Each structure stands twice: as C-alpha cells, then as structure tokens.
C-alpha cells in the first residue's frame, strides 16, 4: 500500500544522517522489519478528516512510527536481556538505536499539537515496564499491549489534529483498533474493510465535517 511505502521512506530519510554507519544500519534494519501500522494510521486519520493535508504530514507520520519502533525495540531488549549471556555489543548498539529512534520521533513531532501526547506515550511506557518487572505473566502481557494501544491513540490524534479536526471526535478508536497480541500485523493485514470503515466515519458527525470550528 502506498501509505506504508511513504512512511518507510520518510522514516528512513529522517535517520539518514545518523552516524556511525553501523548504528544507522541497525536502525534501518529494525524499522524495515517492523510493521508501519502507526505511521499509516496517522496518514489515514488525516485523510478521513480532509483531503487538504499539511506539507509535513508524512514527517509527522514518520515521527509517530519512529517513537513506536524505538519503544518496541526497548521492550524487546528488556525482555530478552541480551546483556546476560548474549551478544553484549549488539545489545549496546540496539539500545542506542532505540534511543535515537525515539529522539528523532520527538524531533519530527516537536512543533505539532501531538508533541505532548508523544511525551505521554513514552512516560506511560516507562511506568508500565517498571510495573511489569514484578507482575504475574497475564498482567505482564496486558502491560506490554498498552504500548500498541497508546501508539494508536497517538497516531489518530496526530493525524486528526494535523488536518484541523477535533481529536475528541476520535475517542475510543484506539481501543477498538488495538490488536489482541503485540506487536502489530502488517499494515496491509491490519487495515481491513472494518477498520477502514471506522476511519471513514471520522469525517461525519451529525452530518457535518469533523474539522468544523464551532
């Protein structure tokens, strides 16, 4: 799908200047192997509100995507504990890559209405992972899944606000869209007809556009 390609391209371009080359390659490989559902949802949410998108919309979508990828990588590393009997050098490079991903995501969203929401996602992730350390297995799985729900919320709010919409009109969509298990499926599989229909409904509220000013 064209949205997925656009998000991957923008995400790759946003980290093109990262050095050294080994770090940039680690970042590129991790982003390329993951699902771009968050970035695509940002674009589709904006499109549901209006066809007139800001010039930096794809960059904002990439920002959401990079934050998710960085937190997802952090979660993977924490659970694998690669420093204990694993490849410590690779783990050190990976945690640095995770930091860069989140930082670049923040940079791309810094001057948008979604900036504070992005900070909230990272803070919530930190709290959840701290609690997870002493949580029973079933609760730990639920805490892990909070990341996907929170990032979906960030994606929707970013897309809607970027196109001048009212984010409260999109309330509840993230919970409805959240996958039963993390991480996400491919964007092509995730955005089935049902989810696309729900997104299309963002443009209509009592017969008026979502981005009304009243």
The tokens for 193 are 């007809």
Please report which residue ranges of the chain form alpha helices under DSSP H. Answer: 2-14, 21-33, 37-49, 57-80, 88-109, 115-132, 137-162, 173-177, 187-190, 193-200
- Examine the pLDDT at 67 and tell me if it is beyond 50: yes
Alpha carbons 3 and 53: distance in angstroms, whole number: 14
How many angstroms separate the CA atoms of 70 and 94, rounded?
Answer: 10
Residue 212 lies in a domain: no
Token output for 164? 């001048």
Considering the domain boundaries, does residue 213 fall inside one? no
Say if 94 falls within a structural domain: yes
Asked whether residue 132 is assigned to any structural domain, the reply reads: yes
Tell me which residue of 4, 2, 3 sits closest to 34, measured CA to CA. Answer: 4
- Does residue 207 lie within any of the structural domains? no
CATH number of the domain encompassing residue 139: 1.10.600.10
Domain interval for residue 143: 2-201
165 with 57: CB under 8 angstroms? no
Report helix, strand or coil for 187.
helix
| pTM confidence score | 0.90
**130-172 per-position pLDDT tens digit:** 999 888 888 888 899 999 999 999 999 999 999 888 777 677 8
**Model confidence band, residue 107 (pLDDT cutoffs 50, 70, 90):** very high
DSSP state of 4: H
User: How many structural domains does the chain have?
Assistant: 1
206 occurs within a structural domain: no
Length of the chain: 214
In a domain, 152, yes or no: yes
Q: Is 179 exposed, middle or buried (0-12, 13-18, 19+ CB in 10 A)?
A: middle
Give the pLDDT band (50/70/90) at residue 203.
low
pLDDT at residue 180, as a whole number? 83
35 lies in some domain = yes
Query: For residue range 76-91, what is the model confidence (pLDDT) as tens digits?
Result: 998 887 777 678 888 8
Distance CA 121, CA 178 (A): 15
């Amino acid at each position: 799908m064209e949205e997925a390609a656009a998000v991957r391209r923008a995400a790759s371009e946003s980290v093109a200047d990262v050095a050294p080359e080994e770090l940039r390659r680690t970042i590129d490989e991790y982003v390329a192997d993951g699902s771009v559902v968050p970035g695509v949802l940002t674009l589709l949410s904006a499109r549901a509100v209006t066809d007139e998108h800001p010039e930096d919309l794809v960059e904002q979508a990439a920002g959401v995507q990079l934050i998710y990828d960085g937190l997802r990588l952090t979660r993977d590393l924490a659970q694998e504990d690669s420093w204990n009997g694993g490849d410590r050098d690779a783990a050190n490079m990976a945690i640095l890559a995770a930091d860069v991903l989140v930082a670049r995501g923040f940079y791309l969203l810094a001057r948008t209405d979604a900036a504070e929401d992005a900070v909230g996602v990272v803070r919530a992730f930190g709290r959840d992972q701290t609690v997870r350390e002493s949580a029973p297995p079933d609760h730990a799985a639920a805490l892990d899944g909070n990341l996907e729900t929170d990032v979906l919320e960030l994606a929707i709010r970013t897309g809607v606000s970027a196109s001048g919409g009212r984010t409260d009109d999109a309330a509840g969509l993230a919970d409805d869209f959240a996958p039963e298990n993390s991480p996400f499926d491919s964007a092509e599989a995730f955005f089935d007809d049902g989810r696309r229909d729900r997104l299309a409904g963002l443009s209509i509220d009592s017969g008026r556009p979502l981005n009304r000013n009243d």
